[in-house]
Structure 1
Amino acid sequence: MSNRVCIKKGLLTLMGVKFVGIMEHPTRFSMCVRSKTTSAQYVASRFRDPTFEKLMDNYKNLLKVISIQDLILANPRNPSVSIDFLSKLSQKLHLNRGPIAFLRKFPHIFHIYYDHSKLKPFCKLTDAALGVTRQEAVAINASLPVVVERLVRILSMSASRMVPLRAVFKVWKELGLPDDFEDSVISANSGVFQLCDGHEQNTHLLKLVDSVSSNGIRAAVEDWRVVECCKEDCSVDRMEMQFSFKQGYPPGMRLSKNFKAKVKEWQRLPYVGPYEVPGEKKKSKAGMMAMEKRAVSIVHEFLSLTVEKMVEVEKISQFRKWFGIDLNIRDLFLDHPGIFYLSTKGKRHTVFLREAYERGCLVEPNPVYDARRRLLDLVVLGRRGLPAVNSKLQDSSSCNEDRQEENQQRHDLSPS
């Protein structure tokens, strides 16, 4: 079989060997060794899940909306931002057609108006968008005890019981941390967390206080195993379930018997859990397999701790060394498509915990997720839902704003 064929549809690493699944026939999946594929080819050849791809299509715009929203809310006295300022940041914000065109697409979130005193157009949030930000802030403040537990769990997965503070800054929103988490979470819980200087200049490490015990912490996958074993219709052998992870594949992804056998064999492999102290790393085949399975358990647990059960690969990679993961994390997600799903939408690689989602929504939502989902709903709504008269007025206003942007020397522009 040619190498060109082997890189068409890449999937799984099993038993310490890289394999690639290729769809030779719509109903048959075969396996071959992935020996000469580049990382980019491996990503491009993955099986696409239309549900997650559709969700990420909306998230692309949501991330841009959040970036502009943060700029607006950065000025609490007058929460607004000038269109001129957004124009200067267009490239950084990925507003390819400029801020005016982007803001017009989401009238349920942004309101453009003309400030006569400053002789320039500005943008502010609508009442609906402000309501969502307040709902999220209330939910975050109410979940502070849960946030403390999340940080304890993340630090407990590190053999040194510490991680760089800059890595936590990368994922503060994903973990549901408040804006001032250094004060409201870390400093306010000095009996749990400690900040110390790192080896590099201006680098701080977040550490668990020695008196804090990690004993008794159970991983999310272990809770799932208990629930599965207690089901009356459970047909899985209890010993087989001991080291298993929940697997799920998108419709249309049909696997061969050989593929299923490899997955079943991998499921039975023993490993050290994310909160257990790992032993000495062995370079044997069994040692490499155990190391890979522990890496899967760590990133599975990390995703379980996030608010939306998703995170950018670049962000989670900041923890790789501290968690003792010696594997390429992105390839790890691709190697286990039944557990994770990797999307490349929006020029970023985002990984989802597959079992946490059903039809594009969280199976077990939380208050912070509910608030963010409301904002996503406003993004998806776009220009729909506006009265016809208001739409015409807004179109007329938009034309005036275009003229203002193109001819800033003319001050006779009527307000929006």
Structure 2
Amino acid sequence: MLRLQNAGRGHLLFLRRRHRHIRTFVNARIKWVRDPYLDTAVEREKNLKPLLSLKDLILSHPSQTLPISSVSPLKPHLQIPTTARTFFLKYPLIFKIFLPPHKPNSLPHVKLTPRLLSLHQDEILILDAPRYRKDVAERLVRLLMIARAGKLPLYLIDMFKYDLGLPHDYLSTLLLEFPDYFSLCNMGFRDSSGSVVLGLELVSWRDDLAVSVVEKRAKENGETGTRTKFSMNLPRGFDLEKKVVEWLDEWHKLPYISPYENAFHLIPNSDQAEKWAVAVIHELLSLLVSKKTERENVFRLGDFLGFGRPRLKRALVHFPGIFYVSNKIKTQTVVLREEYRKSMLVGMHPLMLMRNKYISLMNLVLRRGKPRIRVLQHRKGSTSSSSTRGKKKDDQNRYTISDNDID
């Protein structure tokens, strides 16, 4: 059984007495300003996730080859943006299409190139390292501790599997390797098909891990008490209205509540509750190897935890200095600003270093049999000869959002 959390009870009782007066967000419009650097960070990983899924699928077969026809039905599941054949042809230094020898009338097959296999071996060395496995297990423990019951359904964990850097066989490996951390459980409800929903449960609460990134940084900076502040990094050209700046100053003075505490007793539309919601999203992004994830992932986790989408939308909209929402690669991606300097991660996780090597190989094409860097069609800094078109582009780079736009 997951033991009850005693730490923080006195603090929460203090909050109930101290914050009887509920403040609300000022009636102002917060503009969204496009951040080209963070958009680049998101766009850089375009097609990486389906490519790695295809790599693992091919390697899972004894022959380490697959008929292309068998991949096509998996296109939606693997999130392949084009036909399987077109996708394979786009990356000639990763995939090789061939006809199996000594098999007349055989269908085209695909296999991995020696360059890709070499990178895969390097990745295996990282994933099998004890230090990495402990790191990923502890980050998964923290994710479970954010949930009030200390457990999450497997479908939600699988949703963050790529962002957490979990091994593809994490259920059969981490459960055996860390039996004092995790156990498989019945979530107590059924899915739409009537099947029992399984989940991962925390065996015991870990006080040593229930410390947020914000709290660690505050301790390193010598800050004491509950007046812990979030790092705010507004992009160039981003001007907040004076009343918004004043509201933010007061908001920062509110006590910081750890995402590992249960603060659902707070009035949902209060500023204190919003600060806790920001803390939860901030810690979630901090647990991920790339410090970003699709906005829908945040919402689906929030739905399960009981936050509600309007509440999380407000948290993302009201604090553009903490979070950035990119519209690149046909989705919306939430990025933790403080973890990036321009388009690069500040502290590169070992798995992200490995993924960057895959990206470098993806950006190579063959020219007269020799690898060359892929030339992008839309280069950075290109301008339009029409001032009207330029203005239209600028208009697309910024818009405003008010609380009335959040449903």
- Name the TM-score class by shorter chain: 0.7 to 0.9
Q: What is aligned with 2:125?
A: 138
Deviation per CA, 1:223-266: give whole Å up to 9, x if none.
22233x35xxxxxxx57992310011222323343333232222
Q: What is aligned with 1:47?
A: 33
Q: Which runs of 5+ in 2 are unaligned?
A: 1-22, 191-195, 373-407
- Inter-partner Cα distance in structure 2 for 1:64 and 1:191: 33
Aligned-pair identity in percent equals 29
- Inter-partner Cα distance in structure 2 for 1:96 and 1:183: 30
The aligned runs of 1:277-288 (5 Å cut-off) are: 277-278=262-263, 280-282=265-267, 288=270
Q: What is the one-letter code of the residue matched to 2:125?
A: V
Q: What is the one-letter code of the residue matched to 1:56?
A: V
Q: What is aligned with 1:68?
A: 54
Q: 1:174 is paired with a residue of what secondary structure?
A: helix
Q: What is the one-letter code of the residue matched to 2:55?
A: Q
The aligned runs of 1:165-244 (5 Å cut-off) are: 165-201=154-190, 202-210=196-204, 212-214=205-207, 217-227=210-220, 229-230=221-222, 242-244=227-229
Evaluate the alpha carbon distance shift between residue 219 and residue 96 of structure 1 in structure 2; reply closer, same or farther with a 3 A threshold.
closer
Is the 2:213–2:286 contact (alpha carbons within 8 Å) kept by the matching residues of 1? yes
Q: 2:280 aligns with which of 294, 298, 309?
A: 298
Q: What is aligned with 1:409?
A: none
Structure 1 runs of 4+ with >4 Å offset? 87-97, 238-241, 389-392
- TM-score, scaled to structure 1: 0.73
Number of residue pairs the alignment of both structures matches: 340
- Inter-partner Cα distance in structure 1 for 2:79 and 2:168: 24
Evaluate the alpha carbon distance shift between residue 18 and residue 86 of structure 1 in structure 2; reply closer, same or farther with a 3 A threshold.
farther
Q: 1:60 is paired with a residue of what secondary structure?
A: coil
Evaluate the alpha carbon distance shift between residue 155 and residue 18 of structure 1 in structure 2; reply closer, same or farther with a 3 A threshold.
farther
Evaluate the alpha carbon distance shift between residue 318 and residue 84 of structure 1 in structure 2; reply closer, same or farther with a 3 A threshold.
same
Q: 1:85 aligns with which of 65, 70, 77?
A: 70
Evaluate the alpha carbon distance shift between residue 226 and residue 213 of structure 1 in structure 2; reply closer, same or farther with a 3 A threshold.
closer
Note the C-alpha offset of 1:144.
1.1
Deviation per CA, 1:15-66: give whole Å up to 9, x if none.
44564235xxxxxxxxxxxxxxxxxxxxxxx321111222333322323323
Q: What is aligned with 2:385?
A: none
Q: What is aligned with 1:21?
A: 30
Note the C-alpha offset of 1:361.
1.8
Q: What is the one-letter code of the residue matched to 2:198?
A: H
- Inter-partner Cα distance in structure 2 for 1:80 and 1:18: 59
1:58 maps to 2:40: no
Evaluate the alpha carbon distance shift between residue 108 and residue 294 of structure 1 in structure 2; reply closer, same or farther with a 3 A threshold.
same
Deviation per CA, 1:197-217: give whole Å up to 9, x if none.
12223212322224x443663
Evaluate the alpha carbon distance shift between residue 133 and residue 15 of structure 1 in structure 2; reply closer, same or farther with a 3 A threshold.
farther
Evaluate the alpha carbon distance shift between residue 146 and residue 97 of structure 1 in structure 2; reply closer, same or farther with a 3 A threshold.
closer
Q: What is aligned with 2:107?
A: 120
- Inter-partner Cα distance in structure 2 for 1:303 and 1:84: 37
Query: What do you get for the CA RMSD once the two structures are aligned?
Result: 2.8
